[in-house]
Amino acid sequence: MVPFCIGTVVVLLVMYIGLIATVMSYAALTVEFSQSVKNNESVVAVLEGRYLEAVARITATDYLAEGYALPTAKTFVRAKSATALR
């Protein structure tokens, strides 16, 4: 009976150590994923800032002063809706 109990304790101890290792690796992966999300958010913020600067520059540009001429005629063409909700 004693060897059986010792064997059971050893098996439970090995399982306990395995569960601790699993939880620790899960925690490490969660922290790594969280840091990756923060890094991606900062990259997106930089790109968004560049985009907004470009839009502001395009909007503020005086195209006549840049040498562009006004269009002589405007033609409107009917087109189907280009949205994804068709």
* Model pLDDT for residues 7-45, shown as the tens digit of each residue: 999 999 999 999 999 999 999 999 999 999 999 999 999
What is the amino acid identity at position 25? Answer: S
When mean pLDDT is compared across 12-16, 45-49, 62-66, the lowest value belongs to: 62-66
Name the residue with tokens 């969280």: 34
Cα-Cα-Cα-Cα torsion 63, 65, 66, 68, nearest 10 degrees, comes to 60
End-to-end CA distance of the chain: 74
Name the residue with tokens 């002589």: 72
**Residue 24 neighbours by CB distance under 10 Å:** 10
User: 3-state class of 85 per DSSP?
Assistant: coil
Share of the chain above pLDDT 70, in %: 93
